[in-house]
Structure 1
Amino acid sequence: MSSYHSIELSGCELWLLAEKAIYWPAQRLLLIADAHFGKAAAYRSLGQPVPHGTTASNLAVIDSLLQRYPCDGLIFLGDFLHAPGSHAPSTLAALSQWRANTPLLPITLIRGNHDRHAGDPPQALNFQVVAEPLLLGPFALQHEPDPHPTHTVLAGHIHPAYRLRGPGRQQLRLPCFLLDERVSLLPAFGAFTGGYTIEAKGKQRIFVVGDGQVWPVTAQPSALPQD
């Protein structure tokens, strides 16, 4: 079973999922940031020895979430495709086959910086592609984490990660959600993505993702057990 952590933000209940996504139960929406489909293919086109199968594994995770949670829509908060090289035949074939299994699900892509470089997904995928922000309830759904004058921002782009410190020199860096009444960040969903280490400021809350669970960051000194 998927693990999630229920939180309240701007008067709404959101579920922070261990799969590095957000489910909004009142709207029956699944929110995903920074999938970066085709990133490995783009690197391989440059002669880099990177792993195969990341597109298939990412799509399998999305499928499992759509089966587990009742969804009336799926929204990608930018960077669906990674680069022009992401339009590799194998990547597009996998995406087309996946979309054929969910043809009636409304899917929206909010263009991110990589989407502008890579180009929109093929029309056959039947995505609604829009510019940021997409205003929905109290939230401004965006890719870039820029404050909005009237709405709480849910964004990606940063690929936030948090460094847990243990005894001695032990450290562990994990993807995380950062929650704030002005701008909140989702972790990068894609399996082949990096991360940018962040720290909480003021009343910001951090929830780390690891080992199939989501949990709030509390006391640092005891975050890691002694091996």
Structure 2
Amino acid sequence: MSPYLAVNIGGAELWLLAEKAVYWPAERALLVADVHFGKAAVYRALGQPVPHGTTAANLAALDRLLARYGVDELIFLGDFLHGPAAQGSATLGALGAWRTRHPALRITLVRGNHDLRAGDPPAALGIQVCAEPLLRGPLALRHEPAPHPTHAVLAGHVHPVYLLRGRGRQRLRLPCFQVGQQVTLLPAFGAFTGGYALARKAGVQLVLVGDEGVWCLPS
């Protein structure tokens, strides 16, 4: 099992990482989808008993990736903040402290549906925000998984997972990439995001994410 799988999408070599992210070596860019910063805070504001520390866990995961790969730009494929309550002082304070540790890093956010409700991140975070699609080389970077007429699409939104079935009622729910001819889906990067179970279908490759690495599901 490998820590990443190199694939060719639209003529671009991309690495599908076990950390539920994509590294684009030629652009020195790291792409993640559906972090949903502040989601736990949103649920706690509604009186739901949900875990603490998810923002810190997500930022620590980003730190490990930035330290491991040569990254000049971090691109969020939508749903950076979960909702208006994520604009609270605790979440934004953690994000601000993290940003000060990476002052030279270019950060781009392609707005997703949750970003439209939550509002753009504060200007102090130094994040360039744009509507989808963001065209980069042969790729169209989006949140919604809709095909593009001229570019291969990388998208999020779906939070794809696959159910591995064992004996009896044993099941293992794993995040996955879905690599298609027109649209490639990224798994949700966030630690508190849930997932939508995908089925195998012709012309699509599922790449499963486990604790030790990634691997292609046999056709």
- TM-score range for the pair, normalised by the shorter chain length: over 0.9
Structure-to-structure mapping, 1:50-61, within 5 angstroms: 50-61=50-61
Instruction: Report Cα offsets for 1:13-68 as digits up to 9, x if no partner.
Output: 11111110000111110000000000001111111111110000100010110111
Identity of aligned residues (%): 64
Asked whether the 8 Å contact 1:178–1:186 carries over to 2, the reply is: yes
Q: Which residue does the alignment assign to 1:114? A: 114
Gaps of 5+ in 1: 220-227
2:61 is paired with a residue of what secondary structure?
helix
State which drifts further: 119-128 or 5-14: 5-14
C-alpha distance in 2 between matches for 1:41 and 1:88: 8
C-alpha distance in 2 between matches for 1:181 and 1:139: 12
C-alpha distance in 1 between matches for 2:179 and 2:140: 14
C-alpha distance in 1 between matches for 2:136 and 2:166: 40
The structural deviation recorded for 1:208 is 0.7
2:62 is paired with a residue of what secondary structure?
helix
The structural deviation recorded for 1:4 is 1.3
Q: Which residue does the alignment assign to 2:173? A: 173
Q: Which residue does the alignment assign to 1:17? A: 17
The structural deviation recorded for 1:201 is 1.9
Q: Which residue does the alignment assign to 2:191? A: 191
1:206 is paired with a residue of what secondary structure?
strand
Q: Which residue does the alignment assign to 2:93? A: 93
- TM-score after normalising by structure 2: 0.97
C-alpha distance in 2 between matches for 1:45 and 1:186: 29
Gaps of 5+ in 2: none
Q: Which residue does the alignment assign to 2:205? A: 205
RMSD over aligned CA atoms reads 1.1
Q: Which residue does the alignment assign to 2:44? A: 44
Q: Which residue does the alignment assign to 1:222? A: none
1:116 is paired with a residue of what secondary structure?
helix
C-alpha distance in 2 between matches for 1:212 and 1:104: 31
Q: Which residue does the alignment assign to 1:225? A: none
C-alpha distance in 2 between matches for 1:5 and 1:152: 18
Q: How many residue pairs align between the two structures?
A: 218
2:81 is paired with a residue of what secondary structure?
coil
Residue 182 (structure 1) aligned with residue 182 (structure 2): yes
The structural deviation recorded for 1:171 is 1.5
